Amino acid sequence: MSDAKSLSLSVLDLVPVRTGQSSVQAVTASMSLARRADELGYRRYWFAEHHNMPAVASTAPPVLIAAAAMQTSRIRVGSGGVMLPNHAPLIVAEQFAALEAIAPGRVDLGIGRAPGSDPVITQLLRRSGTTSEVEQFPQHITDILKLVGAEGATVRFTSGGEYEVHATPAASGVPEVWLLGSSDYSATLAAAYGLPYVFANHFAGDGLERAMELYRKQFQPSEHLDAPRTFVTANAVAAATTEEAEERALPQLRQFARLRTNKPMRALETVDEALATPSDPLEQSLVDGVRSRWFVGTGPDVAAGLREFAARYGVDEVMISPAAGTYAAEPLDASPGRSQTLELLADELG
């Protein structure tokens, strides 16, 4: 069980893009945040995969992971996650084997089954001929596990021939593979494969308790893991005052509401923009519903909430998505609110 002394924190980064900000500035801000997380003692720093979203620049996790690995020295870096149906398993294995060579012993390969975008982008990705069918997801997990290992995988042909395939010529280590999800399916698959599991609580509304129960009850020890290992994600905003924290949370909360009402997506509002344009009743009700599952407040308040949350689900790690927005006057190439969230929580839980 979790307690104040044992709770570890990690970071999930979607590389948010706000009004007036370029992709260069957004990535620069995230690299600075990764360095700060490393300095503060956070356990891992993961990048999510999303496509064709004006407010999200985390389109290519392996590229961002490589950049973050070169700017940090201790923290684990990885994907939260790579959406496997968008990619050929061999390419994923090669990319993460290369990352393991760049940052030995520090790479996590978090794998998900969702597309990470809308149906149009999914079709565009699949036109390339390199993507996998969702129905083959379990087999492709097996393929990746073999490909990244030192022994590699063996391809067998109907003619009787065999061909050895390696993700990298001489692996001396392997990335740690995690399954990500927000459903019973992902929990039971991770349990069956004996892999560590992460429930994507930062965007899922329900199902956390059942998924955790299924994973732990059905877990089968494997060569990868001898006992269940899991943590959960959560949205968090910490600030010097509750008022500031609530203000900084508003742009992301409104973005969630826009997504759920199928309104056109746009760059993330600044705090000033969000405060200047009141939500309509439907949007406000959605904002209130999402807000009830977030951790927003002063450092001590958010830390206390995260401790209770971790204890409730029996984990010793919470991966926070630092969802703090930016005021218009703040630099475009930095994320002061997100950095403040990490610093205040490190002070309380470090």
First to last CA, the chain: 17
How far is 112 from 46, CA to CA, in rounded Å? Answer: 13
Question: pLDDT per residue over 51-101, tens digit each?
Answer: 989 999 999 999 999 999 999 999 999 999 899 988 889 999 999 999 999
**Structure-block tokens of residue 289:** 């519903």
Q: What is the distance of C-alpha 163 from the center of its chain? A: 35
pLDDT at 341: 98
Q: Which residues of 26-61 are buried (b: 16+ CB within 10 A; e: fewer)?
A: bbbbbbbbbbbbbebebbbbbbbbbbebebbbbbeb
Instruction: Give the residue ranges of DSSP H helices in the chain.
Output: 23-40, 61-70, 89-102, 119-127, 137-147, 184-193, 208-218, 242-260, 271-276, 281-291, 299-313, 336-349
| 16 DSSP assignment | B
pLDDT at 58: 96
Question: What is the average per-residue pLDDT within 291-310?
Answer: 97
Instruction: Specify whether the CB–CB gap between 143 and 166 falls below 8 A.
Output: no
**Cis peptide leading into residue 81 (ω within 30°):** yes
Architecture per CATH, domain 8-349, reads as Alpha-Beta Barrel (3.20)
Residue partners of 57: CB distance under 8 A and separation at least 6: 14, 15, 16, 17, 23, 26, 27, 30
pLDDT at 108: 98
Q: Which residue carries 């300095």 as its tokens?
A: 39
pLDDT at 2: 38
Question: pLDDT per residue over 199-234, tens digit each?
Answer: 999 987 689 999 999 999 999 999 999 999 999 999
Whether 17 shows a pLDDT value over 90: the answer reads yes
Domain range summary for the chain, segments of one domain joined by +: 8-349
pLDDT at 156: 78
pLDDT band of residue 265 (cuts 50, 70, 90) is confident
pLDDT at 59: 94
The CB density around residue 318, as the number of other CB atoms within 10 Å, is 26
pLDDT over 90 for what percent of the chain?
A: 79
Residues 25-28: contacts with CB within 8 Å, 24+ apart?
25/332, 25/333, 26/57, 27/57, 27/64, 27/67, 28/333, 28/334
Q: Is 282 exposed, middle or buried (0-12, 13-18, 19+ CB in 10 A)?
A: exposed
Whether 344 shows a pLDDT value over 60: the answer reads yes
Question: pLDDT per residue over 110-125, tens digit each?
Answer: 999 876 456 666 666 6
Least confident of 154-158, 177-181, 292-296: 154-158
| 268 DSSP assignment | B
Q: Is 204 exposed, middle or buried (0-12, 13-18, 19+ CB in 10 A)?
A: middle
pLDDT at 4: 40
**Structure-block tokens of residue 103:** 């940052």
Q: What is the DSSP string of 298-346?
A: EHHHHHHHHHHHHHHHT-SEEEEEE-----TTS-TT--HHHHHHHHHHH
Whether 1 shows a pLDDT value over 50: the answer reads no
Higher pLDDT, 313 or 150: 313
- DSSP reduced 3-state for 176: strand
- DSSP reduced 3-state for 106: coil
**Structure-block tokens of residue 145:** 């596990």
pLDDT at 5: 47
State the chain's mean pLDDT as an integer.
Answer: 92
